[in-house]
Amino acid sequence: MAIAIMQSDHRWLACELTKVCEASNLFSYLRSHLRKSGCIMAGFDFPIGIPSSYASKAGITDFLASLSLFGYNEWDQFYTPAESPSQINLHRPFYPARSGTSRRQYLENGLNIPFNQLYRLCERANEKRRAAYPLFWTMGGQQVGKAAISCWESLLSPALDDPAQNLKIWPFSGPLASICTTGNIVALETYPAEFYGHLGLSFSSPKRRSKRSQIDRKAFARQLISWAGAHQLELDGSILDMILDGFGSALDGEDRFDALIGLYGMINVMMGNRPTGEPTPPLITKIEGWIFGQEQPQKETCLGRISK
């Protein structure tokens, strides 16, 4: 995770880039950085919301209300990925538990939903990036389902059930301006791949790069430092060293890179350089959620999905 604090002069200080602590302690740790009049905005790189195609079949009309139900009673197997095709159903939608002879067709058959309809609207490809991965498919390097399982169950759901946490989840809890108030924690879904374009980072031009390569991450150093200087963002010395070093040679270097990109992207939106992507259709604000800073599609597209 990367942490930045707004200073009294309204400049930002990026003060930490480190591994996440235990999920049960995360919000308390973030609160330790909070000033008396402040609010915490926490961006997470995992899906927050469910596809409307699934919700309609499962009888779900409110994601936040259902989040507190997942894992209990008829939903007691919700967070346990199916080990075999026969175990896949609307109350146990994640698949597979492990790699092997898994097939997307098994997930389609178990849920009775075509795979291409398991994407939320915000996950679909657009002219600036490729599609994200659907929530319920849990195999492959790009899968996001297991992160959602872990964090919904151990972080978001318990915090929602604890009034003392003052947790709000955008956009389900309301428009951003109405929930970013003193003492609140506002959880947002962020997607580094969406922010790459916002920040002018290209992995294909002038030559193809990979965020898994330390050398390629290092090639972005000047651009990241320059961006910070131009956007009232001061970098702690340790973070500056990481940028110059390409975020290290360890396997988690790409995670450090994406954490900082996520932070940059959030600050860029909060400074007004990008729209928040504030959604209004009930399909999004009640069921599917939205990626922070991603532009809303044309109205006709949203209405088309709703009527479907």
pLDDT tens sequence across 145-164: 999 999 999 999 999 999 99
Q: What is the mean pLDDT of residues 256-282?
A: 95
Which of 10-14, 111-115, 204-208, 256-260 shows the lowest mean pLDDT across its residues? 204-208
- Residue 183: φ, ψ to 5°: 90, -10
Residue pLDDT, tens place only, 19-75: 988 888 899 999 988 877 789 999 999 999 999 999 999 999 999 999 999 999 999
Q: What's the confidence (pLDDT) of residue 299?
A: 54
Where residue 307 falls among pLDDT bands split at 50, 70, 90?
Answer: very low
Q: Which residues contact 289 (CB under 8 A, 6 or more apart)?
A: 47, 48, 49, 63, 120, 122, 171, 172, 189
Cβ 162 vs Cβ 31: under 8 Å: no
Mean pLDDT of 128-146: 88
Q: Taking 70 as the threshold, does the pLDDT of residue 211 lie above it?
A: yes
Q: What does the domain layout of the chain look like in residue ranges?
A: 2-45+190-270, 52-156
Residue bearing tokens 């657009």? 126
188, 197 contact by CB (below 8 A)? no
Structure confidence at residue 302 (pLDDT):
41
pLDDT at 99: 79
Whether residue 195 has pLDDT greater than 70: yes
Is the pLDDT score of 202 beyond 70?
A: yes
Cβ atoms 134, 54 nearer than 8 A: no
According to the model, what pLDDT value does residue 115 have? Answer: 94
